[in-house]
A and B are shown apart, each in its own frame.
Chain A
Amino acid sequence: MKRMMGLALAALLMASGAARAEGEIKVGEINSYSALPGFTDPYRKGMELALKEINDAGGIKGKKLVIISKDDGGKPGDALTAANELVSRDGVVMIAGGFLSNVGLALSDFAKQKKVMYLASEPLTDALVWSKGNPYTFRLRTSNYMQAAMLAEEAAKLPAKRWATIAPNYEFGQSFVAAFKDLLKKRRPDVEFVAEQWPPLNKIDAGPVLQAIDAANPDAILNATFAGDLVKLVREGNTRGVFKNRAVVSYLTGEPEYLDPLKGETPEGWIVTGYPWYSIDTPEHKAFLDAYQQLNKDYPRLGSIVGYSTVKSIAAVLNATDDHSNEGLVKAMKNLKVSTPFGEIVYRGADHQSTLGAFVGKTALKDGKGIMVDVVFKKGADYLPSEDDAAKMRPAN
């Protein structure tokens, strides 16, 4: 009897599931939920907000948008297993997500092989849209190169001539430093790079690293470490006075994810990219902020913007065409305009990079917390190579 009840219940569930599936569009999403909860937690909240807004407003032409999220554990291999499940079992129309660059590249190659569109939300590597770009992969986040260009522009205004660099020893750090050096030298042929340090990710031995930098006596320091490494670096550097009388340009440090843990020890006057959610007064952002805080009782991080804009982009492309086949979506995605909390962005047709911009400002202390001041929003389109030049960097497919 019990078994009969169970079967009946299962049948009922399946029937209702099938009925619901009629009016659904499924999209797959993959991120490092268990490995990087500091980023993915606000990211997911941003996604949920956007999803709620879209479905409350009637979904995609009357159909409900459903996002199936999977964890990749921070490993490309596991991300591919998840992508496979989403595409072959859950039958999603496209996939999105990713935080780590190698996960993004693995997924983009999967997209190319299985002919399914992939929208990379967070991976920063330039290879994703340029040297290893492919027809099926698009990227939302302001890339390494774009943020390097924004920071190099500010760095060029400094009197500093002798520069030292500290970056985590993997592709993200290497390509960022290379792009920054290149762009700064173009603006300022007189600068020289006198020292470099490449601590392994999450394992910086900050004391010796900073002493080595200090010994080269640079005028300015470029930093690309983040999270736990950044805190070690800042604490050790503050105590040792390594940052005193030196300009510091620091990548990503203004993002609340990385700035907030520094609390009262935030160094002042660093030039950073980031997300000053407290001082952006555009109407788009205000609307986002209010809705976010109403839903979550917490302030947004940059991850929230990425999650929110990812889902908005997904909805925009699904709305833009009725042809939800892979080819149809890729065609619709090119030159697609999407409105985000940072204003309208365009997914460029030539290299599939969005024109999402970034905020550049200086760090300061307020009420024992780190904030960004003198904030300027830099439009992504101004810091990208022209579409013709960008297209030349992509492999011929």
Chain B
Amino acid sequence: MDFLLIQALSGLASAASLFLVASGLSIIFGVTRIVNFAHGAFYMLGAYVAFTLTDRFAGPLGFWGGLLVASLVVAALGALMEMVLLRRIYQAPELFQLLATFGVTLMVQDLVVLIWGPDDLMGPRAPGLSGAFSLFGRLVPSYDILLILLGPAVLGLLWLLFHRTRWGVLVRAATQDREMVASLGVNQKWLFTSVFALGVFLAALGGALQIPRTTVTHYMDLSIIVEVFVVVVIGGLGSVTGAFIAAVLVSELNAFGILVLPKISMITVFLVMAVVLVVRPWGLFGKPDAAPRASAGISVRPWKPMSVLERSGVALVVLLAALLPLVSGSYALSVGSEILVFVLFAASLHFMMTVGGLSSFGHAAYFGLGAYGAAFAVTYFGAPMEAALLLGPLLGLAGAVLFGWFCVRLSGVYFAMLTLAFAQITWSVAFQWVEVTGGDNGILGIWPSAWASTPQGFYWLTLAVVVVGVALLRMLVFSPFGFGLRAARDSALRAEAIGIDGKRTQWAAFMVAGTFAGIAGALFAFLKGSVFPETLAIPMSVDGLVMVLLGGIETVSGAVVGAVVYKALAIWLMSQTELSKLVLGGIIVLLVVAFPKGIVGFLEDWRHRRPPAPNGAGPKAAGKAATEAAPVGIAKLEAAR
């Protein structure tokens, strides 16, 4: 019994750090609707700056002062990022800000190594709290008690801030209805900046408070960011209390879970999230979204099938691509094959995100399942490549059938997070089921049949599959099914009124996307000759998202261009420099600012530009308004006009 109490205390201490970071993310999301991928980066920066300060200024004042100053410094950096970068792109389609913050995250990972060096850094212990006290004959670190008390204290302070100050009232109002707050004349610019700074402050404080417990490392951002997202979603987006309860729930389940199943830590949070979202689709304390306003941007220029001229252009590009093996070496061809595989992967995700309006954060699951499916077919059934390429994607389809059924019940970010949870559960099965999947050592020896084993042969095979795949996806967009899907995306009620079963249509779209991702995964397995859990992991899902967003989420086939640009850039930079993350992150940030509708979105705007109307409406002017950081609501209305 004593032991269980101590274990509960340990769990509470872990919950406190999780809560601090999660509360910041929740506040930022609630108000600005930004999925701030850089939140982990600010957590890490908080720890690094706090390390530098506490290392230089010893003593209690130096330590506690150092933590506070570090958090303030990082909060200022966060505010700077919001003003310089995010303000320019608030009008961009939903999730586009994710791309910007992802770019920043990449840059920070390399920057901290450049500034603080590659070694792990150990900060001082907290003065006065370095020891432990005895409880039922067991020792409990005093610092844990501080953390345990800090959690509710911060929760209380945030409550006071939000309920007893004018600023807090505005923030809550904006969380409920941004457009209305803007219409009432509140200066959203500063409201957003201050909210962002507060959120980043909490993240940095969470990081700074870690230095007496662990080392400061350049990968600590990754170790927390996903968990924090999950906690926010379990608690309910925008609910600070929910984040607190969720952090406690997750930490306690983990603390006790490992007593029974020592290997459970890897997926505790994702299991909890999956269960919570299936039972309560908006998290523990979240409220159902108010009837969503029509996403204006998408309806500006209706999609059209390609004209004859455009078709010929595409045919020419495909022909040129097919002639590539005649002129280039085998390395270029294998890079070409890899890019093509990702074109199909991104196109499948794009189909779901753009046509279906379903943003998946876990699309790697189906890519990876396809890859594992192909590997199983080869390893366990001795199937030749041709059969494995057909069988592999069936596993992707099976995953999509199962997970999709649960996921399409939700929408928006909740949908995205449930896909993430399922992807992560799939990943951990692949990672832990060593007997079947080989664990992290993967499955080796998945090489193509003789006729496709040369780089040329495999390139042509990949090109053929990918061209057909992308063409099929495009045809689906303009098929009755595609129209039904778009109807369900744009107005669930009206679609239902004319007899479209929205959920069923979306589920079917989920399966389509999963199958095509599975085909890409199966090709990837044969390209690499081996399959590892990394094909199912979060970075793979994020890569897919980045490609789609980079290409342009409002376009029909932007993902193709996004995938080519991103993958080619990533491979080339990786080969040229060890600071590839810094450069790639920088390029992404620049692209985001330059093309707030994605590359293809920009090109289409350019093609369809009209002479600007006197009142400054039209796509061109909307771009200009972006630089002036007009309030979001207004920009949206303008776009809808």
Please, which residue of chain B has its CB at the minimum distance from the CB of A233? B214
* Residue among A37, A106, A113, A170 making CB contact with B113, cutoff 8 Å: A37
B-facing mask of A95-126, CB < 8 A → 1, else 0? 00000011001101110110000000000010
Whether B574 and A82, one on each chain, are in contact in the complex, defined by CB atoms closer than 8 angstroms, is yes
Q: Are B262 and A196 in contact (CB under 8 A)?
A: yes
- Kindly state whether residue B504 has any CB partner on chain A within 8 Å: no
A236 touches B455 (CB 8 A): no
CB distance from B484 to the nearest CB of A (A): 37
Instruction: Tell me the chain A residues, 191-242 only, with Cβ under 8 Å from chain B.
Output: 196-200, 202-203, 205-209, 211-212, 214-215, 227-228, 231-232, 235-236, 239-241
Chain B residues, CB < 8 A from A169 = 263, 265-266, 432
Q: For residue A294, give the distance in angstroms from its CB to the closest CB of chain B.
A: 21
B239 within 8 Å of A (CB atoms): no
CB-based contact B144/A132 at 8 Å: no
B529 touches A113 (CB 8 A): yes
Q: How far is the CA of A106 from the CA of B528 in the complex (A)?
A: 9
The digit string for B559-596, where 1 denotes a CB below 8 A from any CB of A, is: 00000000000010011001111000000000000000
Nearest Cβ on chain B to A170's Cβ, whole angstroms: 5
A40-89 CB contacts (< 8 Å) to partner B: 40-41, 70-71, 73, 75-78, 80-82, 84-85, 88-89
| B211 CB, nearest partner CB in chain A, Å | 11
Would you call A231 and B122 a contact (CB within 8 A)? yes
Given A106-B528, A125-B441, A203-B223: A81 touches B574 (CB 8 Å cut-off): yes
Assembly CA distance A350 to B121 (angstroms): 42
Task: Tell me whether B131 and A239 are in contact (CB under 8 A).
Answer: yes
- Cβ of B490 under 8 Å from chain A: no
Q: Does A349 contact B (CB under 8 A)?
A: no
Q: Check B447 for interface membership: any CB of A closer than 8 A.
A: yes
Closest residue on chain B to residue A34 by CB atoms: B578
Pick the contact of A71: B10, B534, B578 (CB < 8 A): B578
With A34-B579, A70-B575, A239-B132 as known contacts, state yes or no: A203 contacts B265, CB within 8 Å.
Answer: yes
The answer to whether residues A105 and B530 also contact, given A197-B258, A240-B138 and a CB cut-off of 8 A, is: yes
Nearest-neighbour CB distance to chain A for B334, whole angstroms, equals: 5
CA distance A105 to B529 in the complex (A): 11
Check B331 against A212 for contact (C-beta < 8 Å). Answer: no
Q: At the interface, yes or no: A38 with Cβ under 8 Å from chain B?
A: yes
Is the C-beta of A269 less than 8 angstroms from some C-beta in chain B? no
Do the beta carbons of A81 and B334 come within 8 Å of each other? yes
Count of chain A residues near B, Cβ 8 A: 67
Asked if A71 and B14 sit within 8 Å, CB to CB, the answer is no
Tell whether B118 is near chain A: CB-to-CB under 8 Å: yes
**Chain B's nearest CB lies how many Å from the CB of A52?**
20
A41 CA to B138 CA, complexed, in Å: 42
Tell yes or no: A272 within 8 A of B by CB.
no
Asked whether any CB of chain B lies closer than 8 Å to the CB of A270, the reply is no
Find out whether the CB atom of B262 lies under 8 angstroms from the CB atom of A75: no
Q: Is the CB of A105 within 8 A of B444?
A: yes
Which residues of chain B (34-59) have a CB below 8 Å from chain A? Answer: none
Count of chain B residues with a beta carbon within 8 Å of a chain A beta carbon: 76
Contact A80 B7 (CB under 8 A): no
Q: Is there a chain B Cβ closer than 8 Å to A387's Cβ?
A: no
Nearest chain A residue, comparing its CB with the CB of B255: A208
Q: Looking at B220, B265, B535, which has the most chain A CB atoms within 10 Å of its CB?
A: B265
Given A202-B219, A208-B255, A236:B213 Cβ within 8 A: yes
A11 to B60, CA, bound (A): 65
B433-475: which residues lie under 8 A (CB-CB) from chain A?
434, 439-442, 444-445, 447, 455
Evaluate contact between B119 and A88: CB separation under 8 angstroms. Answer: no
**Which of A40, A112, A198, A214 has the most chain B CB atoms closer than 10 A to its own CB?**
A198
| Residue in B218, B439, B574 with the greatest tally of chain A CB atoms within 10 Å | B574
Report whether over half of chain B's contact residues are helix, strand or loop; otherwise say mixed.
Answer: helix
The distance in angstroms between the C-alpha atoms of A264 and B539, with both chains bound, is 37
Interface contact B530-A106, CB-CB below 8 Å: yes
Q: Given A171-B440, A198-B262, A212-B258, are A241 and B132 neighbors across the interface (CB < 8 Å)?
A: yes
Contact status A232-B11, CB under 8 Å? no
Question: How many angstroms between the C-alpha atoms of A51 and B383 in the bound complex?
Answer: 46
Of B14, B110, B222, B262, most buried by chain A (CB within 10 Å of CB) is B262
Which residue of the partner chain, among A101, A206, A262, contacts B122 with CB atoms under 8 Å?
A262
Within the complex, the shortest CB–CB distance from A244 to chain B, in Å, comes to 9
Q: Please, which residues of chain A bring their CB within 8 A of the CB of B455?
A: 88
- Once A76-B534, A202-B223, A241-B139 are accepted as A-B contacts, the answer to whether A81 and B335 lie under 8 Å apart by CB is yes
Chain A residues with CB under 8 Å of B140's CB are 240
Is B215 an interface position by the 8 A CB rule?
A: yes
> Which residue from B113, B329, B335, B528 sits with its C-beta under 8 Å from A77?
B528
A70 to B577 CA separation, bound complex (whole angstroms):
8
Decide: B122 and A263 in contact? CB cutoff 8 A. Answer: yes
- When distances are taken between beta carbons in the complex, the residues of chain A under 8 Å from B65 are none
Which among A110, A174, A196 is the interface contact of B529 at CB below 8 angstroms? A110
Cβ–Cβ < 8 Å partners of B434 in chain A: 171, 174
Contact B120 A228 (CB under 8 A): yes
CB of A145 closer than 8 Å to a CB of B: no
Residue contact B338 to A200, C-beta cutoff 8 Å:
no
Q: State whether the Cβ of B507 lies closer than 8 Å to any Cβ in chain A.
A: no
Using an 8 Å CB-CB cutoff, how does the interface string of A159-174 with B read, 1 for contact, 0 for none?
0000000000111001
Taking a contact as CB atoms closer than 8 A, the residue among A41, A88, A207 that contacts B334 in the complex is: A88
B20 interfacial by beta-carbon distance below 8 Å: no
Give, as a whole number of angstroms, the nearest-CB distance from A124 to chain B. Answer: 12
Closest to B3 in A: A215
- A275 interface contact, C-beta 8 A: no
Q: Which of B214, B259, B265, B439 contacts A174 (CB 8 A)?
A: B439
What residue in chain B is nearest A239 (Cβ atoms)?
B141
Are A228's CB and B220's CB within 8 A? yes
User: Does A127 sit within 8 A of B, measured CB to CB?
Assistant: yes
Assuming A70-B575, A169-B432, A260-B119, is B440 touching A102 (CB within 8 A)?
yes
Which are the 4 A-B pairs with shortest beta-carbon distances?
A: A37-B118, A207-B10, A208-B255, A89-B331
27 pairs from A and B in contact (CB 8 Å cutoff)? A38-B120, A71-B580, A75-B534, A75-B539, A80-B529, A82-B574, A84-B334, A85-B575, A105-B442, A105-B530, A106-B442, A169-B265, A171-B434, A205-B255, A207-B11, A207-B14, A207-B144, A207-B255, A208-B14, A209-B258, A211-B10, A211-B138, A227-B215, A227-B217, A239-B143, A241-B139, A260-B119
Beyond A81-B335, A109-B444, A261-B121, 5 extra complex contacts between A and B, CB < 8 Å: A33-B578, A34-B578, A73-B580, A82-B574, A240-B141
Residues of B at the A interface (CB closer than 8 Å) are: 3, 6-7, 10-11, 13-14, 110, 113, 118-122, 125, 130-132, 138-141, 143-144, 212-215, 217-220, 222-223, 251, 254-255, 258-259, 262-263, 265-266, 329-332, 334-335, 338, 431-432, 434, 439-442, 444-445, 447, 455, 524, 528-530, 532, 534-535, 539, 571, 574-575, 578-581
